[in-house]
A and B are shown apart, each in its own frame.
Chain A
Amino acid sequence: MAFGPFLLLALMEGLVTAAVLALAAAGLSLVFGVMRVVNVAHGEFYMLGAVLAWVVTTMIPGPPALAFLAAIVIAPLLVAALAAAADGLILKRLNYDPEATIVATIGLLYILQQAALSLYGPNANPVTAPFEWRIQLPWFGYSGYKLFVVLAAGLVLLGLWLFMTRTKAGLIMRATQVDRMTAQAFGINVDRVYMGTFALGAGLAALAGVLIVPIQQAQYLMGHDPLLLSFIVVIIGGLGSLRGTLIAALVIGLSDGVISMFFTPTLAKILATLLVAMVLVFRPQGLFGAKS
């Protein structure tokens, strides 16, 4: 394949990565923005979304589209419920202390990963895509499902933005993010907002996992890379800034796709992790966040 088409392929692959990454990172950004805590187990919610999607699709007979539809509804809900439980049992008891939360979520990461290993097994299992549609471009064929993923992620993010800016619940969340004490004084139940936010963040990650699983198989270790990439996106885009997250996801996803195709995935990851570290050191507000 000539260079031009190869680049186009790399960019399209990068776009899919960016879309899924944007969803996962939005969840992480939301949690950090509203609750001011870092959830190191975020990648495991993504993994659980994928694993539960496999469980649901194998349990539901009939056309793949139906099974997938069920998965895309059930898996994120289950993961969100799990996250809400974790928040109530653990995070709330720690008073959302930033450092203690990180230690606790590290523990949660290990627990969830081990649970997946024990109950689901070490193998990577595929999930059938809801539909088979091959788009034929002049230079190569491309999976129509991948384009669907991009579309779906975009719609969900649009829905998230509308939710945050146009609904009362979104307003309450944003108020709690800006000033927790004042929100409390106005009668907002901050604990419930936090639980809801944590659940929503986990649900978004799980949704990303469900979308990706027909492309990439479900495996118990698959949460590791998305976690790192989500971190990278959220920090570079600026914490608490949804727009920044989106743009950073695009940049990271596209460049990861390009660098992975032309060089090696390892090199791409090295550059990305160093970039994040440098941004945190020299420009802690990210590219779009407000300087505190």
Chain B
Amino acid sequence: MNGGGVKHWTLHLALIAVLFSAQFWLSPYHATNLARIMILAVFAMGYNLAFGYTGLLSLGHALFLAAGMYAAGLPAQLWGWTAGPVFIAGIAGGGLIAAALGLLALRTAGVSFMIVTLMFAQAGFLTLLYFAPVTGGDDGFAVAASSRTLMGFDLSTDTPRFLAALVIFGTGLLLSLALVRSAFGRTMVAMRENEERSRMLGYNPFSVKLAALTISGLYAGAAGAAYAILFGYVGASFATIQYSILPMLYVLLGGAGTTLGPLLGAALMFVLIEAATGLTTAHQFIVGAALVTLVLFAPKGILGTVRERWVRWLP
């Protein structure tokens, strides 16, 4: 989509501006929750690039999230790295694991691909448990304060943490917009829509999918590392199946194949579960019911439906 460039960029920049302003009119508690949501949205944006745009239904993204988290957390704990290098290590960790998984898993497709990614993610989680002395297992470990400071700012305090989350989210969002507007973005969608035709136009399906999955892994790694740095905790629970399903849920709810869908989905689910936890302990039920309802009645999600019916230029 080459049309609507100005509209696209204005919309996204305006959103970032609104989020920036939120720190002034939200209470510290809610602002921190928003920071959490933004990090989850980064994770979901990566998932969206693989699933929503390229059509790769993976059930193994928790592996990339945990890879980023531990690639950041372990150097911090073992060698005392600071926030900057640790964050880069996290991004690289997520990307590398995604590329490695892709090399194997992309030899399969559809349901097999889902199962293969699920299996590798399970193996990853179990391996983290097996090496509990190093990884902290299910309990995990806290990230030292020295690794949570960047250029003098203590990222464990409210305002720097919020701003850091916003910067990471904003960068991720704008990069994703640029990507989906580019020629490669068109190629990703083509692969999803008609793989055989794409192949007969000269595109190598394996390379395109591998690139999409790796980019997805970079986002997941960034989210994992950001969580470790900003919220100070690393644990194997982030490698469980739950964290492979959540980004899928966020994307389905917000709108698969839209740039803003992941944030919307993450925010809505977060609010929904928060509200429900006040009423009952049955938030698993909400996740389950949401998945079934979405897939039955609204597979395009909120922004997907909006785009189809009213706002055709929505990226």
Interface, chain A (partner B; CB < 8 A): 38, 90, 93-94, 98-100, 102-104, 106-115, 117-118, 228, 231, 235, 264, 266-267, 269-270, 273-274, 276-278, 280-282, 284
Known contacts A98-B111, A102-B111, A103-B248; A277/B284 CB under 8 A: no
The answer to whether A107 and B111 touch across the interface, beta carbons within 8 angstroms, is no
Q: Is B110 an interface residue (CB 8 A)?
A: yes
Can you sample 7 A-B contacts with CB below 8 Å? A104-B296, A107-B291, A107-B293, A108-B288, A113-B284, A114-B284, A280-B108
- Give the contacting residue for A107; candidates B107, B110, B130, B290; CB below 8 A: B290
Q: How far is the CA of A145 from the CA of B289 in the complex (A)?
A: 39
The answer to whether B289 and A100 touch across the interface, beta carbons within 8 angstroms, is no
For the complex formed, measure the closest distance between the CB of B193 and the CB atoms of chain A, giving whole angstroms: 15
For the complex formed, measure the closest distance between the CB of B293 and the CB atoms of chain A, giving whole angstroms: 8
- Give the contacting residue for B285; candidates A115, A274, A284; CB below 8 A: A115
Q: Is B287 an interface residue (CB 8 A)?
A: yes
Q: Is B201 an interface residue (CB 8 A)?
A: no
Chain A residues positioned under 8 Å from B248 (CB to CB): 103
Known contacts A99-B114, A100-B295, A284-B112; A273/B284 CB under 8 A: no
The answer to whether B288 and A110 touch across the interface, beta carbons within 8 angstroms, is yes
- Give the contacting residue for B111; candidates A38, A104, A109; CB below 8 A: A38
Known contacts A266-B126, A277-B104; A104/B295 CB under 8 A: yes
The answer to whether A111 and B285 touch across the interface, beta carbons within 8 angstroms, is yes
Q: How far is the CA of A184 from the CA of B104 in the complex (A)?
A: 38
Q: How far is the CA of A98 from the CA of B291 in the complex (A)?
A: 15
Q: How far is the CA of A248 from the CA of B287 in the complex (A)?
A: 34
The answer to whether B119 and A277 touch across the interface, beta carbons within 8 angstroms, is yes
Q: How far is the CA of A127 from the CA of B13 in the complex (A)?
A: 61
The answer to whether B295 and A117 touch across the interface, beta carbons within 8 angstroms, is no
The answer to whether B285 and A276 touch across the interface, beta carbons within 8 angstroms, is no
Chain A residues positioned under 8 Å from B107 (CB to CB): 281-282
Q: Is B116 an interface residue (CB 8 A)?
A: yes
Type the 1/0 row for B272-311, where 1 means its CB is closer than 8 Å to any CB of A: 0000000001101101111111111001000000000000
- Give the contacting residue for A99; candidates B57, B126, B127; CB below 8 A: B57
Q: Chain A: which residue is nearest B131 at the CB level?
A: A266
